[in-house]
Each structure stands twice: as C-alpha cells, then as structure tokens.
Amino acid sequence: MQNTIYKTVGIVGTGAMGRGIAQIAAQAGSIVRLMDAQAGAAEKAREALGSQWDKLAEKGRINADAAAGHKARLRVAGTLADLSDCDLVVEAILERLDIKKALFAELETIVPARTVLASNTSSLSVTAIAAALKHPERFAGYHFFNPVPLMKVVEIIAGLKTGADTCAGLSQYARQMGHTPVQAQDTPGFIVNHAGRGYGTEALRIVSEGIADFATIDRILRDQAGFKLGPFELMDLTALDVSHPVMESIYHQYYEEDRYRPSVITAQRLAGGLLGRKTGEGFYRYESSVAQIPAEAPAPDVAEMPPVWVSPRAARRLELLQLLKNLGADIETGQSPSPQALTLVAPLGFDITTVAVVERLDPARTIGIDMLIDDAATKRRVLATNPATRSDMQGAAHALFARDGKAVSVIRDSGGFVTQRVVATIVNIASDICQQGICSPKDLETAVTLGLGYPMGPLAMGDRYGPTNILEVLFNMQTVYGDQRYRPSPWLRRRGAIGLSLMHEES
C-alpha cells in the first residue's frame, strides 16, 4: 500500500461524484468505505468501480495486480457507524444545507477527534455547514469536478474556523491522488464556478441584443479566441437544469451583483424543457447526439470593390493596413474618406454607431472590424455593421476580408463586438476574485485552466491582449451601455493604468 496521509477514507454518497472520489482514493492506496443511505447503492457503486478496473486491466492500461489491489481496498459501509475508524470522511450527497448539517452533526458523534471531515459541496457555504459543529477547525470544503478521475483539480475551501493544518492535509492528499489542489476562501462559487460566470452570461447578453445568433457566437469564440467549446455548445453539454440554477445562485448570493446577472433566455428555455444534449434539444437540436448546426452563409460575389479608407484611430491600424494590402484592397490615404470609399473602423469597446458619430463618418459606408487579437493568431475575422450600413458596403467588406479563405462573421452593432466583450468580462471577474482575496493569482489560473478548459488562464488572457486594452474595452462598454456590469475591477484598473501584469501581487 502507498504511504497515504489518510489510511482509511469514508465516502458518503455514491452518485457520480462519490464514486469518482472513491476511485481515486482507492487508487492512491487508501482503504475506502462506501456508504449510502439508499439500500444497495453502495454495493452497486463498488461493483461498478470493480468492473471499471477490470476493463482497464483487460486493455492493458493497468496491470491485474493493481486492479485487484484497488478492488480489495474498496469496501461497503452499512451505516455511518462503520466509518468510525476513518482518518477522513468526504460527503458527496444532495446539495441541501439542512441535510449536510445533519449528516456532519451525526458524524461528529461517531468519528474520533483526529478524523478530518470534508464536503464536496459546489455551491453551499462551508462556514454555514460547519456552524453547528463542536470542532469546525477540522472541517473544510473539498470540491472535485465531474468526471473526477479526468478533472485534475480540486478546490480546498477554508471556512471561517477551518484550521490551516486541515487544508494542508487535504492538499497533500489531493496530490497523492494525482490531482492539483487550489486554495479558496469560502465565497459563492469558490474559484471555478465564480470565474466561469463571464463566458455564458455575456454571450447570452449578446444574443438578447440581437447582435448574433447562437451558432455565430460559438464560431467566433472558438475560432477567434481559441475556446474549445462555444458558450452555447457548453451550456448544451452541461444542461440548463444545471447551469441556469448556478447562474441564479451566484447572482443572488452576491446580492444581485451586476457582473453575474443571469438571463431570461436560459430561464425560459429551462421552463420549456430545452435543456441540451440530454433532452435532444437545447440551443441546438441533436440527432444521434450530433448537433444540427446551420451552415454559414458564403462570402458574397462582388463585381466591383470600392476603395477602402481606415480610421486613424483604429486599433492595430498598421497591421490592418498591411492586411488590406495583402488582400489586394485599393487603400485611400487621405485625411477623410472619398464619397465612394468603404470606411473601416476598429474600436475597442465602442460600438460602430458611436465611432461614426464621434469621427464624423458617413454611417452608411462605415463597417467595424474587431482587431483586439492579432489577425495572424485567429481563424476568423469579425465585422460589425451599424443600423445605417448599406448592404453593398456590408457585402464588399465581407468579400474583401474573405479573399484569402479565412472565415468571416458579420454581426450587428455591438459595443465590444463579441470577443472583446466576452474576454473583457472574463478577465474583469477574474481580476476581482484576486482583489477580494478569494485565492492567489496562481491558483486562479490553475483552477480555471484545469476546471474550465479555457485556452489560457483569465489573467494570462488579460496579459496577452493587454491589460490597458481590456481596461479600455470595459470603460468604453460602460459608456455605451451605462451598465455597472462593465465597471473595471480595481485590480485590473490599477495594473492596466501603470502597465503591470495582472499576475502581479502587491508585496
């Protein structure tokens, strides 16, 4: 047996999370006692895990001796009293505060003083669960993610009275199980569910403004920003009966903080049973588990291309001019566009309408292009019209930017296009997590990268695209929308103002 910090571990609750924790605990060398209030559930879980190890041995992924050892260490506990010799007991039952509190109150009368107690809660206050315990110093949150063997991060949450040695022991054990521990303060959503608020909620706001449809937003965020799944693909995968209540819970727990505001779109679709893949229809319809995604409109054929004039205030202006040159555009160089010219602007945070008015451009000929990210680093270009943009100018811009074969999406006017506003929201929420001291910047990056699968951590994302640029996007979006949702976190505002990395911690 491996030299594990907890020789005997009790798992209460044998759903997917409980089974997953039991699996990695047994594989780490602990004797695991499975207990479930439902008759026969623990035995079924033991058999399922045993069968899983046997299959892995048959495929040569583990040896037969290892499989036999794992199975031998996995045992069924008939009652809570059978957990009396455990060094650690992890609860993975229903997310109800009253039930969890009652369970731990009973466990305290059974286990010795040395036993560490932990909850796999994803949404409840660790402090509240421990409030009635006689020894809250030995209690902590131990939040794994599903599927536990594959999701290699675990949040360790200290309640107000949790002892430092309790968290240190749980961290050491997480490493022994092959997982990466991150430390979080006891706040709504902890790290991962908190940091993940920006992606889906901001995408829903974009849809609610009629800027683009679900598929277009998903394509943009995959191809332009590098996310593995678009927000609507992700919500279909997790299912709205899971994701929408989390949106509402965190919003209300933070006393209606604007940054976490849910959407009526998901509330309505949840009420209508359009939950996602598991019901066959969500934001997409599924046939044999395959999403039926509408095809993109091809680039239009334009017989005669107008000359192109680029605003002197455009973001990445020199790069944009070089791109136009590579695409064979006829570029105007005058101080103002000719009456025939397609007028290009590339704002950060502002909408195309505002830029056209401020710069005194003809809105009928004005098109915006998102240049937050280096064009060479993306697989898609995003153009935005304004309410007055002529269809021939829209068609010309679409055709021009598709000349080299790169995908092009054309959206309606939006402060911050799609990528700017979603990325800025993600970075801003992450910055405020650091400002509140919920976790360290390092643990934040680790938790989000492993727990959400983002292309990079949110602070690294902010550093890559420039804290000053992200700050400009937020300030300008707040001007456009008048919404406190976009107010910059002090963490971001101060570092962006003086050119510091968002990972920089004050001494």
From the CA atom positions of the chain, what is the Rg in Å? Answer: 26
SS3 237: helix
Q: How far apart are CA 422 and CA 400, in angstroms?
A: 26
**Which of 38, 35, 117, 39 lies closest to 81, judged by CA?**
35
CA–CA gap between residue 184 and residue 246 (Å, rounded): 18
- Tell whether the torsion through CA atoms of 420, 424, 425 and 430 is positive or negative: positive
Which among 119, 171, 193, 249 is annotated as catalytic?
193
Nearest CA among 386, 362, 391, 372 for reference residue 480? 386
Residue that the structure tokens 């039930």 belong to? 99
386 is annotated as an active-site residue = no
The catalytically annotated residue of 155, 233, 332, 472 is 155
The C-alpha atoms of residue 367 and residue 359 are separated, in whole angstroms, by 13
Active-site residue identified among 70, 108, 125, 143: 143
Going along 109-179, which residue ranges are E strands?
A: 116-119, 139-143, 153-158
Q: Is the peptide bond before 147 cis (omega within 30 degrees of 0)?
A: yes
Distance from C-alpha of 250 to C-alpha of 245, rounded to nearest angstrom: 9
How far is 472 from 466, CA to CA, in rounded Å? 10
Report H helices in 332-466: 352-358, 391-401, 419-435, 441-452, 458-465
**Whole-number Å distance between alpha carbons of 429 and 448:** 12
Residue 155 falls in the annotated catalytic set: yes
Catalytic residue among 30, 84, 120, 122: 122
Task: Centre a 10 Å sphere on the Cβ of residue 156 and count the other Cβ atoms it contains.
Answer: 25
Pairing assessment for the beta strands 74-76 and 342-345 based on DSSP bridges: unpaired
Q: 120 catalytic, yes or no?
A: no
* Sign (positive or negative) of CA dihedral 438, 440, 445, 446: negative
**Strands 366-369 and 342-345, bridge-based pairing:** parallel
Active site residue 476: no
Residues acting as catalytic residues:
122, 143, 155, 193
